[in-house]
């Protein structure tokens, strides 16, 4: 594989985009990353890649801009991580969710169809599609029932990807990603809220952490494992959709117990449960059945839940105390 192989990543400055960029560079790709803000702005997750990837901006809701972008860079693969909201925020940003999690996917697929339908496309979808799931664990045949605006918008993005694959014969895949975390996870997500709080409490900078439902369970995996699966999807001979998850459910309480315990603290002395922080329409247990990906893509998660929790805590503790003090 030569360096002339070009991949374009929307949302490259996010957790998933940054890990995927590293993977593609390691496989001799030319990587073009799309960011929302000015090119000169700091993007902490990809600052170490500044000299290795090309950055550009583009209005993902403007058809002409997208077509111009694709004609200029001529990518062979496109990975779409564009997402303006998460499930919790989407209740107050419903229109924005519809624009960027739904219509931007359509614009991008249409640009591919018009410029070069041979481009391989991967849509980053979400387990929030399942929402009020009728079965657990969930796989590719489980009925969708999203319960928040984010999930509804993402469902459109998922189905329009399937539609372009089937009607336009395009190599378009949708990766149904269950929760995936890392030290680069955004601070608005519960896992990173916990790991940062553990570091700050250990440092004496705060004493308590307020959380919602401690018994809520999720399928949490390691983000680089999931971006690797998306890359494998575009190397496969046939385009398809895949559920990506660990198959294990763990509660917020378990996460807290491991995270605080990793630095010698008891979570019960610091975590305060605030019921009002619970979502108005929370989902039932979401657990991913990734047997299809394991068989067709030979994909396996590489990091256990406990290892993931400890890695996130070590990173945040290291940021405050210096890496030599992290366990």
Which is nearest to 107 in space by CA: 145, 66, 144?
A: 66
110 flagged as catalytic: no
Say if residue 253 is in the same domain as residue 201.
yes
Active-site hit among 19, 79, 150, 222:
150
**Per-residue pLDDT tens digits for 14-52:** 999 999 999 999 999 999 999 999 999 999 999 999 999
Say if residue 42 is in the same domain as residue 168.
yes
pLDDT of amino acid 88:
65
- Give the pLDDT mean for 257-269: 98
CATH number at residue 214: 3.90.25.10
Within-domain flag for 291: no
Is the previous residue joined to 137 through a cis bond, with omega within 30 degrees of 0?
yes
Say if residue 70 is in the same domain as residue 196.
no
Question: How many Cα atoms within 13 Å fall on the side-chain side of residue 126?
Answer: 29
Q: What are phi and psi of 202, to 5 degrees?
A: -60, -35
**Angstrom distance (rounded) from CA 211 to CA 268:** 12
Say if residue 36 is in the same domain as residue 174.
yes
Tokens of 301: 């998660």
**Angstrom distance (rounded) from CA 296 to CA 186:** 31
**Per-residue pLDDT tens digits for 44-86:** 999 999 999 999 999 999 999 999 999 999 999 999 998 876 6
Within-domain flag for 293: no
pLDDT at 282 over 60: no
Region of 176 please: left (phi>0), alpha (psi -120 to 50) or beta.
Answer: beta
Residue owning tokens 């045949």: 141
Within-domain flag for 115: yes
**Angstrom distance (rounded) from CA 218 to CA 220:** 6
What are the DSSP E strand ranges found in the chain? 6-10, 30-35, 54-57, 77-80, 120-126, 172-177, 180-181, 209-211, 217-218, 221-222, 242-244, 250-251, 271-273
Band (pLDDT 50/70/90 cuts) for residue 97 is confident
Please check whether residue 104 is in contact with residue 92, taking contact to mean a CB–CB distance below 8 angstroms: no
**Per-residue pLDDT tens digits for 110-165:** 999 999 999 999 999 999 999 999 899 999 999 999 999 999 999 999 999 999 99
Say if residue 98 is in the same domain as residue 56.
yes
Active-site hit among 126, 161, 191, 283:
126
Say if residue 94 is in the same domain as residue 13.
yes
For residue 38, count CB atoms less than 10 angstroms from its CB and return exposed for 0-12, middle for 13-18, buried for 19 or more.
exposed
CATH number at residue 126: 3.40.50.720
**Per-residue pLDDT tens digits for 238-252:** 999 999 999 999 999
pLDDT of amino acid 93:
77
pLDDT of amino acid 9:
98
Active-site hit among 128, 164, 222, 267:
128
Mean pLDDT of the chain: 93
Say if residue 159 is in the same domain as residue 260.
no
Within-domain flag for 292: no
222 flagged as catalytic: no
Say if residue 56 is in the same domain as residue 205.
no
**Angstrom distance (rounded) from CA 5 to CA 74:** 9
Total number of domains constituting the chain: 2
In which domain, by residue range, is 231 found? Answer: 6-180+222-244
Within-domain flag for 295: no
Within-domain flag for 212: yes
Say if residue 31 is in the same domain as residue 100.
yes
Cross-strand partners of 174: 123
Lowest mean pLDDT among 170-184, 247-261, 309-323: 309-323
Question: How many Cα atoms within 13 Å fall on the side-chain side of residue 193?
Answer: 10
Please check whether residue 196 is in contact with residue 206, taking contact to mean a CB–CB distance below 8 angstroms: no
pLDDT of amino acid 322:
75
Its pTM stands at: 0.93
Say if residue 239 is in the same domain as residue 253.
no
128 flagged as catalytic: yes
**Angstrom distance (rounded) from CA 286 to CA 323:** 35
Please check whether residue 224 is in contact with residue 182, taking contact to mean a CB–CB distance below 8 angstroms: yes
Question: End-to-end distance of the chain based on CA atoms, in angstroms?
Answer: 39
**Angstrom distance (rounded) from CA 309 to CA 285:** 20
Say if residue 172 is in the same domain as residue 201.
no
pLDDT at 256 over 90: yes
Say if residue 228 is in the same domain as residue 213.
no
Q: How far is CA 180 from CA 174, 244, 304, 305, in A?
A: 16, 9, 12, 10
pLDDT of amino acid 94:
82
Number of neighbours of residue 210 by Cβ within 10 angstroms? 12
Within-domain flag for 105: yes
């Amino acid at each position: 594989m030569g360096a002339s192989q070009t991949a374009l990543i929307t949302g490259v400055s996010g957790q998933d985009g940054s890990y995927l960029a590293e993977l593609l560079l390691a496989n001799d790709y030319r990587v073009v990353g799309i960011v929302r803000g000015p090119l000169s702005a700091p993007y902490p997750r990809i600052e170490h890649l500044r000299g290795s990837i090309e950055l550009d901006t583009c209005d993902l809701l403007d058809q002409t801009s997208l077509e111009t972008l694709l004609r200029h860079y001529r990518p062979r693969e496109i990975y779409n991580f564009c997402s303006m909201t998460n499930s919790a925020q989407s209740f107050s940003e419903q229109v924005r969710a519809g624009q960027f999690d739904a219509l931007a996917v359509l614009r991008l697929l249409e640009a591919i169809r018009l410029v070069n339908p041979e481009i391989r496309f991967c849509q980053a979808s979400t387990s929030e599609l399942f929402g009020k799931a009728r079965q657990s664990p969930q796989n590719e045949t489980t009925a969708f029932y999203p319960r928040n605006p984010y999930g509804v918008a993402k469902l459109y993005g998922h189905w329009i990807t399937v539609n372009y694959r089937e009607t336009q014969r395009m190599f378009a895949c949708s990766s149904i990603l269950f929760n995936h975390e890392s030290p680069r996870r955004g601070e608005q997500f519960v896992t990173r809220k916990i790991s940062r709080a553990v570091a700050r409490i250990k440092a004496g900078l705060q004493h308590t952490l307020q959380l919602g439902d401690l018994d809520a369970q999720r399928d949490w995996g390691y983000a680089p494992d999931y971006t690797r699966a998306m890359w494998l999807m575009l190397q496969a001979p046939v385009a398809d959709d895949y559920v990506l998850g660990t198959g294990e459910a763990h509660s917020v309480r378990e996460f807290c117990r491991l995270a605080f315990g990793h630095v010698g603290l008891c979570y019960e002395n610091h975590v305060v449960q605030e019921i009002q922080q619970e979502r108005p329409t929370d989902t039932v247990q979401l657990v991913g059945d990734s047997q299809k990906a394991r068989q067709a893509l030979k994909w396996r998660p590489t990091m256990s839940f406990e290892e993931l929790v400890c890695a996130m805590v070590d990173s945040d503790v290291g940021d405050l105390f210096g890496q030599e003090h992290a366990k």
